Amino acid sequence: MKKNTIKFTINKKGIAKGARQIVSPNFDARPTSSIDMVVIHNISLPPNIYAGSGVVELFTNKLNPDEHPYYATIHTAKVSSHFFIRRDGELIQFVSCLQRAWHAGASNWQGRERCNDFSVGIELEGSDFEPFEQAQYQTLNALLNSLKATYPIQHIVGHSDIAPGRKTDPGPFFAWDKIE
């Protein structure tokens, strides 16, 4: 992997300078000020289709159930993530890092329940069925470096690690060895 020249700065309000901001209503206050984990996910809407507006619409409660059969099954879900990294490496932020995004659901890490309480969620546009793009790893590493410089991050895990048996993402094609 070539040297990463992308940089993000996270301000005191938990906003990443350099990310496109799209506000999700799906968040609430963290019950703790401790942010020590990052959870990596994958998502594509419709499933296995990239570059559309489905993820943004889901996270902003604007998903049209008539647009795709799968949307009819999830359009009422109230979910979000702090960040979304598109296939081309674009970074979108939906929720301040200081707030609790609703990305992990029922979860446990080393005996700690409700991982949303103490984690930042990062969604990668992708699926369990094909590799992620180099641009995504570059953006992800730049974002992880910013998060580690701002918060006492101790763990970087996959959704499958905190919800085994329920979730499989970021999936078998996520290259953990590309994380710096």
Would you name the residues annotated as active-site residues?
A: 123
User: What is the distance between the alpha carbons of residues 104 and 36, in angstroms, rounded to a whole number?
Assistant: 15
Strands (E), the chain: 9-10, 16-17, 20-21, 27-29, 37-43, 83-85, 91-93, 99-101, 108-109, 112-113, 119-125, 155-158
